[in-house]
């Protein structure tokens, strides 16, 4: 388990956690503004990734690549706005996605791909004005 609360981390660099292949839970709670592509690549055993109180404006493609065993992704109380196409690419075994109270305005059609393992999608407390037909087909 790694807990990195209340640290002045602004950017999570590519491969920042490479080599930590036995970590099962990662909690980051800080004012992170940027997650670079492949930031979590190398965390082979992480089952739950929890990101709280981030100042991200968007989740970009490749941000979560390499989290092969992650089952739960939580991004709460963050300042997102837009979840781009392919944002969750690489999260092939995730069954639960919690993105609550994160000021999301828009989720693109393919941010959560058809054929994914996602069974639960929690989006409460956001600013979503409409749901794309693609997501309606998958989750409704």
Q: Are 62 and 89 in contact (CB under 8 A)?
A: yes
pLDDT digits 0-9 by tens, 73-89: 998 998 887 777 777 77
pTM for this predicted structure: 0.84
CA-based Rg of the chain, rounded to a whole angstrom? 14
If you ran DSSP here, which 8-state letter would residue 112 be given?
Answer: S
Instruction: Identify the pLDDT of residue 140.
Output: 41
Could you tell me the CA-to-CA distances from 139 to 70, 109, 118, 135 in Å, in that order? 20, 12, 9, 6
**Selection from 102, 101, 80, 83 nearest residue 33 by Cα:** 80
Instruction: Identify the pLDDT of residue 22.
Output: 94
Predicted confidence (pLDDT) at residue 100 exceeds the cutoff of 80: yes
Predicted confidence (pLDDT) at residue 101 exceeds the cutoff of 50: yes
Predicted confidence (pLDDT) at residue 136 exceeds the cutoff of 80: no
Q: CATH number, domain at 28?
A: 3.80.10.10
User: How many domains in the chain?
Assistant: 1
The pLDDT of 32-55, averaged and rounded, is 92
Q: Which domain holds residue 96?
A: 1-140
């Amino acid at each position: 388990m790694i807990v990195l609360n209340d640290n002045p981390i602004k950017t999570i660099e590519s491969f920042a956690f490479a080599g930590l292949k036995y970590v099962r839970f990662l909690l980051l709670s800080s004012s992170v503004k940027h997650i670079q592509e492949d930031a979590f690549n190398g965390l082979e055993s992480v089952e739950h990734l929890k990101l709280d109180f981030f100042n991200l404006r968007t989740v970009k493609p490749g941000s979560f690549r390499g989290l092969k065993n992650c089952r739960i992704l939580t991004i709460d109380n963050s300042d997102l706005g837009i979840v781009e196409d392919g944002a969750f690419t690489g999260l092939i075994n995730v069954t639960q996605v919690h993105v609550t109270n994160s000021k999301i305005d828009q989720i693109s059609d393919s941010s959560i791909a058809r054929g994914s393992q996602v069974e639960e999608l929690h989006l409460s407390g956001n600013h979503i004005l409409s749901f794309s037909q693609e997501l309606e087909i998958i989750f409704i």
